[in-house]
Structure 1
Amino acid sequence: MNENSDEREAPCAGLRIGDFAPDFSARSTTGDLRLSDYRGRWLILFSHPADFTPVCTTEFVALARSADLFEQRDCALMALSVDSLFSHFAWLRMIRDRFDIEVRFPIVEDPTLVICRGYGMVAPHDNDSGTVRSTFFIDPEGVIRAMTCYPANVGRSTPEILRTLDALQAVDSGPVLAPANWERGQNLLRQPAATLDDVFGAREQTEWFLKETPGAPSQ
């Protein structure tokens, strides 16, 4: 790399899919918590740039209104930002009074950016997380199964978060794959055949590697 080039590390570069989610303890709007206490169920950990910001407010309203859908999938939600616990409290009160919805999932405070840096949500030398909107899909074993990273000026899609969660849970049901645009209840794909006999014995050209199989019924 050129000595004059920008050596700033990109957000989301710290962890990879398949890594164990780093454990941490922190204060939150629902009390003190430890990430490892959520083992045994799915967890979506997501960061937001700041309290009392327009895009983050719309995200939290949307997620709170869909909280039952995540609960049906045995998935907990956990938010994180650098703002203080009391800022979180004031913001959630404003959301309740303005939108008539209570945000009951925990919002973790991270004023020193220790958690954000541990997850690669911010670059090592950043002083705030104002440009980061990261999401980590963590399975019941504590393994990171998917990640997304959005800019501060683009909000996340709650339906897409749910779709990704559904797909991750579906492929855990057996040797199957989730195709493009897959939705809960639709057919999945079989894992491709692994022997030459299977390839030559297929009735159609694509049957050995591209064949649908029924997915779990939509609940």
Structure 2
Amino acid sequence: MHRSDDQDVLDLIRSLMSFQVTLILTGVNIPGLGLLREAKWDPHTRQWKMLPLETTRVHGLEVTQTERRFEMVELGTFGYSTDQEMQDFLDHLQGIEDHLRLQKAFPGMLTEGSMPGYLYRRCKGVVGILARLIADGCQEAMDSGRELLDENLLDGIVIGRENRDEEEPPQPRGTAKASGRAQSGKGPAGKRRNTAFDDRGPEAAAG
């Protein structure tokens, strides 16, 4: 909290706190960044425990006023060893799948066959890696004209620091190992996809 930019962020957060609303803010390594103050993870309460400060003022600002107004919740990563953990991961994939607007996407594209286990092996349960993999995969699917995601396409997407050498995780109960992959369905050569695809989603379609 020694830079002017850090102080600007703190001022912005405090200004938001003046509204009569509840804020749910997300970020990576919030305690380690020092924005609210250094903290230690308490495995018993599964919460971040704020440590006492030697001083309560940083560049004239009362940091303790900020931290007292927040409750830190650790989200962690998805597991994949029990039926419930698998179902939680499938539910997350279903939410992603429902919002994809690839023109040849189909129900179960991310949630059926070997795809859930494949995606978990690629991301190890880390939401950020999964989001990047899906986003880069969608860009490639549009650029190539395939307009869908499958393992063949995603094999060509490399995300930094991922370890691809581990054994395939178990499949969720009720799914079967896919015997093949969907056809790519490339469009006419040279024809690029309209990335401003006018689609207001399933709610509009249902109406």
TM-score for both structures, normalised by structure 2:
0.24
Say which structure is richer in strand.
1
* Rg (Cα) greater in structure: 2
Say which structure is richer in helix.
2
Higher relative CO (Cα under 8 Å, sequence separation at least 6) belongs to: 1
